[in-house]
């Protein structure tokens, strides 16, 4: 009798330890998984907000404001933009600043509607702030030097917040400040804690229910077969821990011939281990098939967006780009231009020297304007037609680069020492986006300009 009570107490203690252990592991897992998911949502939201803001700020003008301490009309537009965004996106704070010599100075910070109704005014340009500890200030200083958005938690006089910082960079590549968006972290922590508490309570409840049923059943069957089954189950758990393949998950069923529920349980556990191996193997095979299908889809997508001969962007990629540009225009405008390029003499090269030389002619021409327009995507949307989407520094230096392309192709066109398929000649035209245009308008002007150039070249031939 004493022996039975000892086993019973051991089972109760073991069940309690198991439930506590599972609660602990599941609470950690729930905390990590859910918090990572929430932080990812916050990261995506804040990065979209910062990108939206920086895309609408003239960085060179704001840099001059910061250097001179004098506000321009564009600075006032930035102030209004930030003031509207802090309410529209329900942010804790939205502000921009720079750090110098471990001191923090305001560039332009939003004032919410509620703050304005309380009589608060916008912070002054270059106004210093002492609301942060030195360790927090250095986080912002480090974020200024990066070329990407930084995320961190910080404490200030206004309370704890989760902060995203994107550097201000002018056209010369000078990092002169950061724009920061804050959300209150208290609500995030509250949500995570409630989720973890719910999982702990659920796990605890299920564990206690399982333990109660198990103990009631074992109370009537504390015999040798039960001990043998328990020993086999423990052995299976020990040897299965850390195994990498389903074939290693083997349950060694004990020799039980009681012809009652104990024997049925033993057989069921044995079959369950086999089903588990089969199920896991099926999952692994399905995962491998899915991975293979995904890789094939990615390869096909990549091929569709690249021209097979020149490896510049294809007609499919060009059509996608046009849709994206039109969306930018519809949302408030864009800054871009097109350079249309049409290869001269390609038909003559193909007819006289063969298509292999024609391909060399296409590749040679493509290499020249790819070298000239390094900061802009290039698309081949016809056999001898290319278009350059002017962006970044190429857009700013478009007139200079246009002269370079004219000079480079003039050299090859007039070099009679080279074979015909290396005497590259192209017609080209350029147009830039103007207010009121759609994408097709800009494309048409560039195409018309290219056609005029083609007529001039034919006239000189």
Q: What is the pLDDT of residues 253-302, one digit of tens each?
A: 777 777 777 767 767 777 776 776 676 666 656 666 656 555 554 445 55
What is the pLDDT, as a whole number, of residue 13? Answer: 74
Q: Is the pLDDT assigned to residue 153 strictly greater than 80?
A: yes
When pLDDT is averaged across residues 76-87 and rounded to a whole number, the result is 94
pLDDT category at 15 given cuts 50, 70, 90 is low
What is the pLDDT, as a whole number, of residue 416? Answer: 84
When pLDDT is averaged across residues 407-424 and rounded to a whole number, the result is 89
What is the pLDDT, as a whole number, of residue 1? Answer: 47
pLDDT digits (tens, 9 = 90+) for 211-225: 677 666 556 555 667
What is the pLDDT, as a whole number, of residue 297? Answer: 46
Where is average pLDDT lowest: 4-18, 300-314, 384-398? 4-18
Q: Is the pLDDT assigned to residue 22 strictly greater than 80?
A: no
pLDDT category at 83 given cuts 50, 70, 90 is very high
Write down the mean pLDDT value for the chain: 84
Where is average pLDDT lowest: 113-122, 236-245, 431-440? 236-245
pLDDT category at 209 given cuts 50, 70, 90 is confident
362's tokens: 């296409």
pTM score > 0.85 for this model? no
What is the pLDDT, as a whole number, of residue 10? Answer: 67
Of 71 and 191, more confident: 71
What is the pLDDT, as a whole number, of residue 193? Answer: 79
Q: Is the pLDDT assigned to residue 240 strictly greater than 80?
A: no
pLDDT digits (tens, 9 = 90+) for 102-130: 999 999 999 999 999 999 999 999 999 88
What is the pLDDT, as a whole number, of residue 197? Answer: 80
């Amino acid at each position: 009798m004493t022996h039975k009570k000892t086993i019973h107490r051991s089972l109760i203690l073991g069940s309690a330890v198991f439930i506590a252990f599972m609660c602990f592991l599941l609470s950690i897992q729930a905390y990590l998984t859910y918090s990572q998911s929430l932080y990812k949502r916050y990261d995506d939201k804040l990065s979209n907000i910062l990108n939206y803001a920086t895309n609408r700020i003239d960085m060179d003008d704001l840099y001059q404001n910061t250097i001179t301490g004098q506000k321009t009309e564009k600075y006032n537009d930035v102030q209004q933009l930030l003031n509207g965004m802090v309410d529209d996106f329900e942010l804790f704070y939205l502000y921009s600043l720079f750090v110098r010599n471990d001191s923090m100075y305001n560039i332009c910070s939003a004032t919410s509607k509620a703050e304005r109704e309380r009589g608060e005014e916008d912070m002054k340009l270059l106004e210093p702030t002492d609301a942060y500890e030195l360790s927090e200030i250095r986080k912002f200083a480090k974020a200024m030097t990066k070329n990407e958005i930084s995320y961190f938690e910080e404490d200030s006089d206004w309370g704890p917040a989760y902060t995203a910082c994107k550097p201000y960079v002018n056209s010369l590549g000078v990092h002169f400040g950061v724009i920061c968006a804050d959300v209150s972290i208290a609500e995030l922590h509250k949500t995570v804690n409630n989720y973890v508490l719910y999982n702990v309570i659920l796990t605890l409840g299920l564990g206690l229910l399982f333990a109660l049923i198990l103990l009631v059943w074992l109370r009537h069957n504390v015999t040798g077969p039960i001990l043998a089954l328990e020993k086999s189950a423990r052995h299976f758990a020990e040897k299965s821990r850390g195994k990498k393949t389903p074939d290693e998950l083997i349950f060694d069923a004990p020799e039980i011939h009681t012809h009652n529920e104990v024997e049925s349980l033993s057989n069921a556990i044995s079959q369950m281990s086999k089903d588990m191996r089969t199920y896991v193997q099926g999952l692994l095979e399905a995962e491998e098939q899915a991975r293979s299908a995904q890789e094939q889809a990615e390869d096909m997508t990549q091929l569709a967006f690249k021209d097979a001969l020149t490896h510049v962007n294809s007609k499919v990629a060009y059509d996608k780009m046009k849709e994206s540009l039109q969306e930018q225009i519809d949302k408030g405008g864009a800054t871009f231009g097109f350079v249309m390029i049409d290869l001269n003499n390609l038909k003559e090269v193909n007819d006289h020297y063969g298509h292999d030389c024609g391909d060399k002619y296409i590749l040679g021409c493509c290499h020249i304007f790819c070298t000239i327009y390094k900061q802009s995507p290039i698309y081949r949307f016809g056999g001898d037609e290319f278009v350059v989407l002017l962006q970044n520094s190429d857009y700013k230096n478009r007139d200079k680069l246009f002269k370079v392309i004219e000079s480079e192709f003039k050299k090859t066109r007039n070099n009679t020492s080279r074979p015909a398929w290396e005497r590259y000649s192209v017609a080209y035209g350029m147009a830039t986006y103007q207010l009121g245009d759609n994408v097709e308008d800009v494309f048409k002007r560039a195409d018309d300009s290219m056609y005029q150039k083609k007529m001039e070249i034919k006239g000189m031939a």
